[in-house]
């Protein structure tokens, strides 16, 4: 089976600290993957490497079957057109309306679709995150949960093959969090893409994810199903996959 994304022996040093230390990650296509692990352990960095925003100092990154060359601008463009990302602090453009934010990935494409098609797809995207009338509002006018849904809509609107979520539920109340995770499951089911979610919320991840990867100290110390992880010999893996046994 062809992996949709592979990171092999990736090493990265930032500001004098080695933040990725021989990280290995293989993602099977069409599934929802979970990235779990301690804060600062490398989850966000791995997502950024997958999004081609960061290039490791050593090691290889392959996306959609081709090796990523950070110096090849055109190749990067083509890759990025197939990737969507929701950032940890949302990164919604505060100088654009909600509709313009969601339509941004469509409009900035080299061959953008005609304006009425963009408007239709934006409307559909907003409807799918249950914010049908929010288009003309400013981003600042929405609550945290609603902003998060806009970020999800923006990440998914261009129907990317690889969809990345960095802490989709940070700081939200439990009801909204459940809705966001359900939304992620919906998007994957409708668009058939590959999804990667970095989060601390094991219970909610367990409801939608099939593959789990534990990231600790800049390396991926486990990749597999949740059941295998919970039965692992490595106490750290068990700890991050089953919070109830933290003191075991």
Give me 143's structure tokens: 């609550």
Nearest distance in Å: CB 238, another protein: 33
Considering the complex, state which of residue 81 and residue 226 has its C-beta at the smaller distance from another protein.
Answer: 81
User: Which residue in 92, 196, 215, 220 binds another protein (CB under 8 A)?
Assistant: 92
- Is 28 among the residues that bind another protein (CB under 8 A)? no
User: Which residue in 30, 65, 70, 91 binds another protein (CB under 8 A)?
Assistant: 91
User: Which residue in 35, 49, 99, 202 binds another protein (CB under 8 A)?
Assistant: 99
- Name the maximum alpha-carbon separation found in the chain: 58
- The C-alpha atoms of residue 63 and residue 49 are separated, in whole angstroms, by 10
- Is 165 among the residues that bind another protein (CB under 8 A)? no
Give me 49's structure tokens: 């490497």
User: Which residue in 8, 28, 53, 206 binds another protein (CB under 8 A)?
Assistant: 53
- Is 41 among the residues that bind another protein (CB under 8 A)? no
User: Which residue in 39, 140, 227, 233 binds another protein (CB under 8 A)?
Assistant: 140
Considering the complex, state which of residue 104 and residue 222 has its C-beta at the smaller distance from another protein.
Answer: 104
- Is 143 among the residues that bind another protein (CB under 8 A)? no
User: Which residue in 42, 105, 168, 229 binds another protein (CB under 8 A)?
Assistant: 105
Residues 107-136 that bind another protein (CB under 8 A): 108-110, 136
Considering the complex, state which of residue 71 and residue 110 has its C-beta at the smaller distance from another protein.
Answer: 110
- The C-alpha atoms of residue 206 and residue 96 are separated, in whole angstroms, by 35
Among 77, 69, 54, 61, which residue's Cα sits nearest to residue 24?
61
- The C-alpha atoms of residue 132 and residue 135 are separated, in whole angstroms, by 7
- The C-alpha atoms of residue 38 and residue 56 are separated, in whole angstroms, by 21
Residues 180-209 that bind another protein (CB under 8 A): none
Q: Which long-range contacts (CB under 8 A, 24 or more apart) does 243-246 make?
A: 243/202
- Is 57 among the residues that bind another protein (CB under 8 A)? no
Nearest distance in Å: CB 136, another protein: 5
- Is 233 among the residues that bind another protein (CB under 8 A)? no
Which residue ranges make up the site for another protein (CB under 8 A)?
48, 51-53, 77, 80-81, 83-85, 87-97, 99-100, 104-105, 108-110, 136, 138, 140, 158
């Amino acid at each position: 089976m062809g992996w949709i994304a592979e990171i092999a022996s990736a090493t990265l040093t930032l500001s004098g600290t080695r933040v990725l230390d021989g990280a290995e990650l293989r993602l099977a296509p069409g599934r929802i993957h979970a990235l779990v692990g301690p804060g600062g352990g490398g989850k966000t960095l791995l997502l950024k490497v997958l999004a081609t925003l960061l290039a490791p100092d050593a090691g290889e990154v392959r996306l959609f079957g081709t090796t990523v060359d950070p110096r090849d601008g055109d190749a990067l463009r083509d890759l990025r057109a197939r990737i969507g990302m929701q950032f940890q602090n949302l990164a919604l453009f505060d100088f654009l309306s909600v509709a313009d934010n969601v339509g941004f990935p469509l409009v900035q494409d080299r061959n953008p679709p005609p304006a009425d098609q963009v408007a239709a797809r934006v409307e559909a995207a907003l409807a799918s995150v249950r914010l049908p009338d929010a288009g003309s509002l400013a981003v600042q006018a929405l609550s945290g949960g609603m902003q998060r849904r806009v970020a999800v809509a923006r990440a998914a609107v261009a129907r990317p093959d690889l969809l990345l979520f960095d802490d989709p539920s940070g700081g939200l109340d439990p009801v909204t969090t459940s809705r966001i995770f359900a939304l992620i499951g919906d998007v994957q089911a409708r668009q058939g893409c590959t999804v990667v979610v970095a989060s601390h919320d094991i219970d909610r991840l367990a409801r939608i994810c099939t593959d789990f990867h534990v990231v600790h100290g800049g390396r991926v110390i486990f990749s597999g199903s949740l059941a295998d992880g919970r039965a692992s010999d490595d106490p750290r893996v068990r700890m991050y996959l089953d919070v109830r046994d933290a003191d075991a």
